[in-house]
Structures are given as C-alpha cells and as structure tokens.
A and B are shown apart, each in its own frame.
Chain A
C-alpha cells in the first residue's frame, strides 16, 4: 500500500487546504463563548478551542442520539480506528495515520457526549471507556514504534507510551484514594493533537522537501514524539504532586 513517490504538488495543495481550515477554525474559536482557561494545571488546548470543537461536532452528536446509536459502538469504533492508525504509522502512511489518530480522538469526544445525552452514562460505561482508551492509545504507539524500528527513536516512543499511561494511572490512583483530579497540561485530546498533527505535518514536510533533499525526512514526527514525552512526563508529575499535596492536607486534618 505504501508508495514512497515524491508528490510536492499534492503536499502544497494539502497545506493550502489545512491553512484555510485553520484560519476558519481560529475565527470560530474566537467567536465561541466562555472564558479562556489559564493557570498552572490548565490543559494546553484551552476552553474556547474545546467549546468550538464540541460545537462543530454537535450536529453529529444530535444525529447519533436521534438514531439511537449506543455510546459503546463509538468506544469500540475508536479502538478499531486506533488500530488502523497504528497500522498506518507502521507502514509509513503518515498522513493517513495522522488523520486516523485525529478521527479516533473525535470518536472519544463523541462517545462521552452521546452517553450523557442518551442517559447511558454509567460506572460500567466509564470503566469500559477508560480501558478501551488505554488499548487504543497503545495501538497507536505500537505502530509508531514499528515505523521507527530500532534506535533511539524506539526508546523515545516507548517512553512516550509509558508516560501517557502514567498520566491516566496517576488520575485513576488518586481517584481510588478518594481525590478528584482533573487538571493537567497534556491530557488525552492534547496527545491526539500532537500525534495527529505530527503525522500530517511530517508527511507534508517529507513530500515538500523531497525534491531538495532527495530522501524523506521525518524530523517533525520525531519532534512530536519528543514533545509528547516532555508533556506527558510533566503532566504525570504535576498530577502526582497535586494528589500528594491533597493527601498530605487530608492526613493533617
């Protein structure tokens, strides 16, 4: 399936379309209401951007609820799409992989919304969703690891996968100890965006640069993985510190 042909013209056209979409999106984000979230534990993707994306997805959510599509279908669909994203990364189809990663993230947003609106939200659903999320994320990292093969990048992908799981584990453990922990710079949507856009931009740069370089470069995807390691490590340690401080306060009382 993979075709290493150099296509700078298509890459330029895709860049123009993405640029236009980003401009339209920024106008939409500026129009969407709500205060911008700031502060130490605020996610990198601000409240306005999240509100805009939910508004963009609202017609699809309405349709899914009206058709009675169960939230579980979207949860399992997310796993299937993530497996495909992993396979696309593994075979070097970086642009498709980036697209599938963002689509998987979108299904993750939709399943929660549909569950709440159709009255399906339950402890069982939350458990299934969390477990499937971990498998889905890991599938993408396995694909990335296969793409980079051996060497120091494989080590960084393994570290990114581990730290991403630690972000979720820190929250789950804190909740098990009776704490509410919602903060964190790089939560799941941020990780999807870094990996998805990393795949997109890496493929575009590889195709745009190939007439000059004569070989594909994946420096953007490598940077995205490094960024993911840094952000996930930061978020996990931020969560552990917050939870530890809260537990210390509880013990003193």
Chain B
C-alpha cells in the first residue's frame, strides 16, 4: 500500500519551488504568491496524510492465530 498524500507532497513541493522561482527571478509576484500559498497547503496536507498513515501503521496489532 502506498502512503497517504502520495501525490500531494511532490505536487506541493513542485508548486512551492516554482513559486520561489517566480518570486526570486521575475516580476510575476502575484502568481508567485499564489503558487507559494497553494504549494504550502498541498505540501502540508501531504505531510499530514503521511504522518496519519505512519501512526495508523504503528498502532496496528496483527491478530494472533491459534496453534
């Protein structure tokens, strides 16, 4: 099973990097801020989903089988 937020983290990181790039190198400041906000939101959602999955996996107790 793939961890939660499998797509959100890379997409969030990609948007953040593009946002930083536009902010650093161009005059497209509004687009940059929009991408930074969107990237932060998606990246944090992805990290939260990953943390949730890890907690769930850690608390899983396999059923005992007789014999």
Contacts and interface: CB of A to CB of B under 8 A. Distances in A.
B38 interface: no
A96 interface: yes
A60 B7 contact: yes
B20 A2 contact: no
Given A58-B2, A93-B26, A94-B25, 10 more contacts: A10-B20, A13-B20, A17-B17, A59-B6, A63-B7, A92-B25, A95-B25, A96-B18, A96-B25, A200-B17
A213 to B, nearest CB: 16
A117 interface: no
B11 to A, nearest CB: 9
Contacts of A17: 13, 16-17, 20
Interface of A: 1-3, 7, 10-11, 13-14, 17-18, 21, 56-60, 63, 88, 92-96, 98-99, 103, 200, 203-204, 207
A3 B25 contact: yes
A103 B28 contact: no
A203 B2 contact: no
Most interface-central of A14, A58, A63, A207 (chain B CB within 10 A): A14
Given A59-B2, A96-B18, A99-B18, A14 B24 contact: yes
A112 to B, nearest CB: 18
